Amino acid sequence: MSTERASARTSDSVLGRFHGVIPAGGTGTRLWPLSRAAAPKFLHDLTGSGSTLIRATYDRLLPLTQGRIMVVTGVVHRRAVLAQLPEIEDTDLVLESEPKDSAAAIGLAAAILHRRDPGIIMGSFAADQVIAPAELFQDAVREAIHTAAEGYIVTIGIEPTHPSTGFGYIRAGDPLTVAGAPTARAVIEFVEKPSQAVADGYIDSGNYSWNAGMFVAPVELMLRHLAANEPELHAGLLEIAASWDTPQRVQVARRIWPTLPKIAIDYAVAEPAAAAGDVAMIPGGFSWDDVGDFAAIGRLNPAEENSELKVMGEGARVFSENASGIVVSDTKRVIALIGIDDVVIVDTPDALLVTTKEHAQEVKKAVERLRASGDTDVL
Amino acid sequence: MSTERASARTSDSVLGRFHGVIPAGGTGTRLWPLSRAAAPKFLHDLTGSGSTLIRATYDRLLPLTQGRIMVVTGVVHRRAVLAQLPEIEDTDLVLESEPKDSAAAIGLAAAILHRRDPGIIMGSFAADQVIAPAELFQDAVREAIHTAAEGYIVTIGIEPTHPSTGFGYIRAGDPLTVAGAPTARAVIEFVEKPSQAVADGYIDSGNYSWNAGMFVAPVELMLRHLAANEPELHAGLLEIAASWDTPQRVQVARRIWPTLPKIAIDYAVAEPAAAAGDVAMIPGGFSWDDVGDFAAIGRLNPAEENSELKVMGEGARVFSENASGIVVSDTKRVIALIGIDDVVIVDTPDALLVTTKEHAQEVKKAVERLRASGDTDVL
């Protein structure tokens, strides 16, 4: 047997250990009133592609997983997620009775998968990101799987298009030598959202990528770091996982889940693992957007020809005269715009938002005020 | 009998000849989508007073008429007008099967009233104007009635507050000597909407008033000028009036009304009468607004304290952050405004308008585009 054929078979068997995980949480407050508690961001088609964000995320992982994909979401979204992903197995749909932040969600997936097969390499990708082209994403994930197989928690770094102050960054170290992962690098540290001056410096140095929260890792290694940093959380997750494929699943989860600490996977695993030298990075050559606000929706949707107004929504009836900006129509109402620039209008049956692209980030504030005033029926 | 008492009795008997006429037509296109074919401007409370414009017009005439008020409106508005004016007699509600412009509407009222009593002095006041205080209006109308009794068609001139290019003007001549009408003046001519330079000159001269389309005149004199200028229209109106208080009313009106020419009262009566020296004017010392667009609605409605945002509509749920302008809410929806200035938002169940105060006059264009595109369900 030649070395080449052995290597090919090794590669196949490494990739065959991969299992996708899609945490589908968060209400996308800055996309209110389109995105809201009952219909969060990931359940919408925000790019005019014809697919919801969660469906597109699932489809992007399919060629890597042959359907081995677990979704972790709120129990209130069960029906909507099944409508989007009818092929998902019951045992691959993990329902949270209440939100417990990303360490619990991703940690539970790791614990359940670890009981099924301790050799699994998981890859966690949020349900509400926009990525293109899918092939470049899949190439990066394949490199990440090969790197993970060498004992790393591997993140995929997004090449920054501008010195954003809205994202965390990944500081890359030296290149690694990993078969099947020619672009792999060590990670020195994760850093939080920087000031503008600091972000400018990051871009100039060439060693920083955006942190999109993508993690590919052996489940055993994820759990080991979780045990070291959050032993209580780790113990609770193992107990739930032990009952997962038994009739006690619901009863055990109902007892333990509410007691678990809320913490982000960044603090519970990624940052301490980086400090321990256990994190690697694959640079992602694809374009990426977290669709953080309505300005992003404007960027991601093509305008009609000869129009500076982008209109989203099936059956939208928009009439404009000297208007530019974005209209998201979730009703059948006629919308007339006259002489208004860079406007953002989101029209839903029970709530209307009117703002500007410039103020798109402040939508969160409006939602907070609505909550404070008790008008939670539209949140 | 002293001269003083005789004069008082004469005055009473002149005022006793007065009959109000309220033409209630026009859809108020520039106030779309609040005002529309099925619910025109005069059926709305546009000032936050608690009264619709037609109800306020009626109430303003009550002290002058003791209920002798005729309303001319479209047959489609019959029910809505009766809901606003439940006390109106069937014989004082003149229903047009289709709009035929102001000469037919006011002329028919004149012809019907003339058959009842040729001595009637009619006063025609549009249903969709905002006037305050009512007492100054009533003082002006009383002077107008006394002047009309001397054989004049009397208009009430609005003292201009600025050199508007959006109104027609009345050019006043010499003072007249009329008992009971110390401010009466002759009218030299009516002039159409002027250019800005011309309007500036009008204001400087002090001899020009805004033409609000108010006419007080003996019905006999109105009909005489109508006969001279529009004989066909005059003949048709007399024929309808002859059948008005008979069982043939509906049948005759249905046959003749559609054949009548469409012409404004200005061309059919006022301008030729002025040229003949038959028009007089009483200066109106009251404030007046024809609520021509949403900017006017902004002026006429008080803002809440510490807010530059004016909100109209019962049960409006508006949340704003650094926003100014006008919101008219005709729904129960939550409306959130963030970082947008001088905006005009009109939210109705089937149509939404977003524009700016500056572009409020262009709403008409949007309505025309909707009509052209066949989207007439929301007009």
Cβ within 8 Å, pair A338-B350: no
CA–CA dist B219, B259 (Å, integer)? 23
Contact residues, chain A, for B349 at CB < 8 Å: 333
Shortest Cα–Cα distance, B36 to chain A (Å): 14
- CB count within 10 Å of CB A316 equals 17
The number of C-alpha atoms within 13 Å of A253 and in the hemisphere containing its C-beta is 20
- CB count within 10 Å of CB A228 equals 14
Shortest Cα–Cα distance, B127 to chain A (Å): 27
Query: Would you state the pLDDT for residue A37?
Result: 84
Tell me if B328 sits within 8 A of B345, measured CB to CB. Answer: yes
Tell me the percentage of chain A whose pLDDT exceeds 90: 77
What residue in A sits closest to B336 (Cα-Cα)?
A: A353
Residues of A with CB under 8 A from a CB of B: 32-33, 317, 319, 321-322, 332-340, 343, 345, 347, 349-356, 358-359, 362-363, 365-366, 369-370, 373, 375, 378
CA–CA dist B124, B19 (Å, integer)? 9
Question: Which of the pair, A130 or A306, is modelled with greater confidence?
Answer: A130
Shortest Cα–Cα distance, B301 to chain A (Å): 21
Cβ within 8 Å, pair B338-A354: yes
Cβ within 8 Å, pair B362-A339: yes
How confident is the model over B6-18, as a mean pLDDT?
A: 76
How confident is the model over B227-235, as a mean pLDDT?
A: 98
Confidence of residue B315 (pLDDT cuts 50, 70, 90): confident
Give B57-69 as a DSSP string.
Answer: HHHHHHHHHTT-E
Contact residues, chain A, for B321 at CB < 8 Å: 362, 365-366, 369
φ/ψ of residue A69, rounded to 5: -135, 130
Cβ within 8 Å, pair B354-A356: no
Among A116-130, A351-365, B108-122, the least confident range: A351-365
Contact residues, chain A, for B32 at CB < 8 Å: 336
CA–CA dist B365, B79 (Å, integer)? 30
Cβ within 8 Å, pair A335-B347: no
Cβ within 8 Å, pair B349-A334: no
Contact residues, chain A, for B378 at CB < 8 Å: 334
Tell me the percentage of chain A whose pLDDT exceeds 70: 96
Query: Would you state the pLDDT for residue B296?
Result: 87
Residues of B with CB under 8 A from a CB of A: 32-33, 317, 319, 321-322, 332-340, 343, 345, 347, 349-356, 358-359, 362-363, 365-366, 369-370, 373, 375, 378
Query: Would you state the pLDDT for residue B304?
Result: 66
Confidence of residue A221 (pLDDT cuts 50, 70, 90): very high
Q: Is the pLDDT of residue B29 over 90?
A: no
Q: Residues 6 or more apart from B341 whose CB is under 8 A from it?
A: B323, B324, B325
Contact residues, chain A, for B332 at CB < 8 Å: 350
Confidence of residue A47 (pLDDT cuts 50, 70, 90): confident
How confident is the model over B182-208, as a mean pLDDT?
A: 96
pLDDT in tens, A261-316: 999 999 999 999 999 999 999 999 999 999 988 888 888 887 665 578 999 888 88
Cβ within 8 Å, pair B370-A340: no
Confidence of residue B2 (pLDDT cuts 50, 70, 90): very low
Find, among A24, A33, A28, the residue nearest to A80 by Cα.
A24
Angle in degrees, 0-180, between the axes of helices A134-148 and A53-65, rounded to the nearest 10: 50
pLDDT in tens, A231-262: 999 999 999 999 998 999 999 999 999 999 99
Shortest Cα–Cα distance, A304 to chain B (Å): 18
Query: Would you state the pLDDT for residue A5?
Result: 47
Query: Would you state the pLDDT for residue B365?
Result: 83
Q: Which residues pair with A21 in a beta bridge?
A: A70, A124
pLDDT in tens, A19-37: 999 999 877 788 999 898 8
Q: Which amino acid appears at position B8 of this protein? A: A
Confidence of residue A10 (pLDDT cuts 50, 70, 90): low
Q: Is the pLDDT of residue A185 over 50?
A: yes
Cβ within 8 Å, pair B353-A338: yes
Distances (CA, A) of A7 to A1, A10, A180, B340: 10, 5, 9, 61
Query: Would you state the pLDDT for residue A138?
Result: 98
Contact residues, chain A, for B369 at CB < 8 Å: 319, 321
Tell me if A316 sits within 8 A of A335, measured CB to CB. Answer: yes
Q: Is the pLDDT of residue B278 over 90?
A: yes
Q: Is the pLDDT of residue B3 over 70?
A: no
CB pairs under 8 A between A and B: 126
Q: Is the pLDDT of residue B251 over 90?
A: yes
Number of H helices, E strands in chain A: 13, 15
Question: Which of the pair, B10 or A145, is modelled with greater confidence?
Answer: A145
CA–CA dist A23, A37 (Å, integer)? 16
Query: Would you state the pLDDT for residue A279?
Result: 98
Question: What is the pLDDT of chain B when averaged over all its residues?
Answer: 92
Domains of chain A: 3-289 (3.90.550.10), 303-378 (no CATH)
Cβ within 8 Å, pair B351-A343: no
Q: Is the pLDDT of residue B5 over 60?
A: no
pLDDT in tens, A322-364: 999 999 998 999 999 999 999 999 999 999 999 998 998 888 8
CA–CA dist B5, A194 (Å, integer)? 91
The number of C-alpha atoms within 13 Å of B351 and in the hemisphere containing its C-beta is 19
